[in-house]
């Protein structure tokens, strides 16, 4: 998987094979990633560390066959990595705000006092969880209550949209 600027997004070795069953695949992948205890490192794109955006890209690619535009650090400040859903044009063309309840595979944008811009992927497991790469603790899968208790607030959900589904002029130059 190519990253903006030519770097590769490299999955860690030993990920479980996909079965075609969405929830089973998501649970198996999350369990494998938690077992690996991969650290968060800003700008990392695998295979031994990731940041929240590159983990979102890995999960989207692996579970949903989606090629998410990756914001490279030389092109954008840290805030733009997570705000890409709404503000970074190549990624904003792929996402739009979710109306109503989140669905399996939606992108999640959230804030935390220590990380004002953070993202993950909503998965329809155990009544809804967010898989994300936490700065302190690495890969994590948390329900909304656990996210609130950990200090994550203002969860916003974004659905995948093909470029042709989006408005022609997003006003994001």
**Does residue 45 lie in a domain region?**
yes
Give the residue from 28, 30, 34 showing the smallest Cα distance to 16. Answer: 28
CATH number, domain containing residue 98 = 3.90.1720.10
Q: Residue 116: inside a domain, yes or no?
A: yes
CB 27 within 8 A of CB 21: no
List the domain range (segments joined by +) for residue 19.
Answer: 4-162
Report the predicted TM-score, pTM, of the whole model to 2 decimal places. 0.83
**What percent of the chain has pLDDT above 90?**
57
Q: Give the pairing type, strands 95-97 and 107-112.
A: unpaired
In a domain, 47, yes or no: yes
> Which pLDDT value is given to residue 90?
62
Domain total of the chain: 1
Question: Does residue 18 sit within a domain?
Answer: yes
Average pLDDT for 70-95: 59
């Amino acid at each position: 998987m190519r990253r903006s600027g030519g770097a590769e997004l490299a999955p860690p070795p030993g990920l479980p094979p996909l079965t075609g069953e969405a929830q089973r695949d998501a649970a198996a992948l999350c369990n494998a990633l938690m077992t690996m205890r991969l650290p968060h490192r800003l700008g990392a794109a695998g295979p031994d560390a990731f940041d929240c955006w590159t983990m979102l890209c890995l999960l989207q690619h692996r579970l949903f066959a989606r090629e998410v535009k990756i914001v490279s650090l030389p092109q954008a400040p840290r805030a733009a990595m997570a705000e890409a859903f709404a503000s970074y044009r190549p990624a904003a063309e792929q996402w739009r705000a979710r109306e109503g309840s989140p669905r399996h595979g939606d992108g999640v944008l959230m804030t935390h006092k220590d990380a004002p811009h953070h993202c993950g992927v909503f998965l329809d497991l155990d009544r809804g969880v967010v898989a994300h790469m936490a700065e302190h603790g690495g890969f994590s899968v948390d329900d909304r209550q656990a996210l609130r208790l950990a200090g994550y607030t203002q969860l916003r959900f974004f659905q995948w949209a093909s470029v042709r589904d989006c408005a022609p002029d997003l006003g994001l130059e």
